[in-house]
Amino acid sequence: MSGPITVLDIGGTHLRWTQWSPGHGLGEVRRTPSPSFSRHTGATVEELQAMLVREMAGAVPPGGVAGVSFGAALDHRTGTVYASAPLWGAHARPFDLRTALAAARPDVRWHVVNDVTAALLHLASSPAARDLRKIVLATISTGIACRTIDKRTGEIPVDGCGLQGEIGHLPATVTLDGAPVELRCDCGRPGHVAAFSSGPGIRRLSEVLRRRRAGDWASSGLGARLAAGEGFESALATALDDGDPLAGELLGAATKPVADVVRTALCLDPEIDLVAFTGGVAVGLGAHYRAAVLAHLTRDGLYLTSERDPRWVPDRVVVSEADGLIGAGIAALAGAPV
């Protein structure tokens, strides 16, 4: 393969693209809002998919090679997209993305992988991952998912549908002040991990907290910043920096479902040497996010292991920036299965 690869990263909020090569890295990254159901409220899913394909097809020069990191539940073997709650809501009719892209731009060689797979490929290629056995990467952003790679074989195992790690749609429970919270996921189902722990989920959870504790909310740093018109993500990060107890309580509630998944994963597979969190929420909140997850895992850790070796779990949990654009390029170089 000669020349740079066009790499694209499609998330629920933004579509990013640039040129990449192993020797020169990433070029200037451009971005545009993703054509999602929340942005184009009157459009059908088919119209949203057509808009997306046009945007992607227009980013690649003639006769080029494209590596795509796509934020959706997709068949890792074929690239068929099963669903993307952040992009298309509750719609779950399979969409043959690669065929649509090839029809729009038959001169381009398209390689499509899930966005978490792409980010994991980037992380796994780093020097820090060289001597590790298994790595779990979870993205906490508009949506939530994770992937596991066995560094010894390079394998990212999948099930009979070509899927792995769709943890955002596992059942979860959250309570505030001892009372259960019921929230609906973007996929349309209630009580999923993403309903509480994704970026939109944390905002929904904050509204529950505001309604239940109006007085505490009004006097909190988070509530004051939001009332002054500050954006939610910025207000939450600053309130956590300032030690606002209500912001800490909100993040604690939002991270409980994620911590529950991590605890189970480490219990079932002790060969996992690293659990890394990436994505806009986790990276944006940084040390606060890691501390909130670890607070759950310290309070309710692994049976016996957490008592006998208190550092075993914390030493495995990090927040890390992993770029799906680079991972998409790595997948294209390796000849992704699609």
Residue linked to tokens 């796994």: 124
Predicted local confidence at residue 159, as pLDDT: 94
pTM, to two decimals: 0.89
Quick check: helix, strand or coil at residue 317? Answer: strand
Quick check: helix, strand or coil at residue 224? Answer: helix
Q: Which alpha helices (DSSP H) does the chain contain, by range? A: 45-57, 85-88, 97-104, 115-124, 193-197, 199-212, 214-219, 221-227, 232-241, 245-268, 280-285, 287-299, 305-308, 324-334
Is the pLDDT reported for residue 92 higher than 90? no
Q: With beta carbons less than 8 A apart as the criterion, state whether 109 and 94 touch.
A: no
Q: With beta carbons less than 8 A apart as the criterion, state whether 333 and 20 touch.
A: no
Torsion angle, alpha carbons of 94, 70, 286, 217, to 10: -40
CA distance 40 to 42: 6
Query: Average of pLDDT values for 331-336?
Result: 82
Query: Average of pLDDT values for 39-53?
Result: 94
Q: With beta carbons less than 8 A apart as the criterion, state whether 9 and 325 touch.
A: yes
338 band by pLDDT with thresholds 50, 70 and 90: very low
Is the pLDDT reported for residue 80 higher than 70? yes
Predicted local confidence at residue 71, as pLDDT: 87
Is the pLDDT reported for residue 336 higher than 60? no
**297: Cα within 13 Å, side-chain hemisphere:** 30
* pLDDT tens string 147-202: 999 999 999 999 999 999 999 999 999 999 999 999 999 888 999 999 999 999 99
In this structure, the number of other CB atoms found within 10 A of the CB of residue 198 comes to: 30
Name all domains of the chain by residue range, CATH numbers in brackets. Answer: 5-122+323-334 (3.30.420.40), 128-319 (3.30.420.40)
CA distance 186 to 193: 11
Helices (H) and strands (E) in the chain, counts: 14, 15
Predicted local confidence at residue 111, as pLDDT: 94
In this structure, the number of other CB atoms found within 10 A of the CB of residue 104 comes to: 16
Predicted local confidence at residue 83, as pLDDT: 86
Name the nearest CA neighbour of 86 among 5, 168, 165, 148. 168
1 band by pLDDT with thresholds 50, 70 and 90: low
Among 204-208, 323-327, 334-338, whose mean pLDDT is lowest? Answer: 334-338
Name the nearest CA neighbour of 281 among 196, 163, 171. 196
Biggest CA pair distance of the chain: 62
Average pLDDT, the chain: 94
Among 76-90, 98-112, 129-143, 295-309, whose mean pLDDT is lowest? Answer: 76-90
2 band by pLDDT with thresholds 50, 70 and 90: low
β-strand pairing of 134-140 with 272-278 = parallel
* pLDDT tens string 238-275: 999 999 999 999 999 999 999 999 999 999 999 999 99
Query: Average of pLDDT values for 204-231?
Result: 97
Predicted local confidence at residue 277, as pLDDT: 98
Is the pLDDT reported for residue 337 higher than 80? no
The alpha carbons of the chain give a radius of gyration, in whole angstroms, of 20
